[in-house]
Structure 1
Amino acid sequence: MVEIGEKLKYFRERKGMSQKQIAELLHVTPQTISKWELNKSAPDYDQLIMLSKIYRKSIDALLGQAKPSFLDYLADPQNVREKIAFNGIRISEEGESHGEDS
């Protein structure tokens, strides 16, 4: 079972934000965010709601209760770059396509 701290860290990193940035938005210390991510403490209800809005994820997803959807998978550009190729074309991180003729 995935603990909430792992999910919070995962979504924060996917959003490209630091613990300090999240802490500022929630009016807590970066140490508080660290404790959450290490499962030493947990956000309260109001903080979960704010995290849900920041990460654009349901509270169920933050708690590790939601099943991942295919649309969430496709919405992550990293997954598209790594996993999907059409006719031998790969998309680089810069958005350039590379095919067999390149």
Structure 2
Amino acid sequence: MNENYGEQIKNYRVNLGMTQNQVAKELDVTPGYISNVEKGRTAMSLRLLIYYSKLMGITLDELVGNIEPSYKKSAIDNALWTEIKKLDNMQKEKLLETIKIWQK
């Protein structure tokens, strides 16, 4: 997760020309809460992060970044895992040996 998402939250608010009071009213929190978030003193709950991203017209990923940017699970990963779960242990061992051969 981006360590400085409070700063990003402030940048989105400022770029849209909104005040802390306006954002606080939309999110049903206090302006002091928004100030603390922007200064990194308080972390927003997931619910508020979602509401904030919708208010700003951005995705949650755009707001806080990916938790594990080095890992992106793809459709092929999901498809492989679905099929592997159907195999019995002997079939899994054969598959593992085959994969090891391919990697040589």
Global fold match (TM > 0.5): yes
The higher radius of gyration belongs to: 2
For the 8 Å contact 1:19–1:30, the answer to whether it is kept is yes
TM superposition score normalised by structure 1? 0.60
Q: Deviations over 1:29-79 (max 9, x none)?
A: 0000000000001110110111111101111111144xxxxxxxxxxxxxx
* Closer, same or farther: CA 10–2 of 1 in aligned 2, 3 Å: farther
The normalised TM-score by structure 2 is 0.59
- CA deviation digits over 1:6-38, x for unaligned, max 9? 100000001110000000011100000000000
**Deviating 4+ runs (over 2 angstroms):** none
8 Å Cα contact 1:7-1:64 kept in structure 2: no
Distance in 2 of aligned mates of 1:60 and 1:30: 24
CA RMSD for the aligned pairs?
Answer: 2.0
Partner residue, 2:50: 49
Gap regions ≥5 residues in structure 1: 66-102
Inter-partner Cα distance in structure 1 for 2:65 and 2:33 = 20
Q: Percent identity?
A: 37
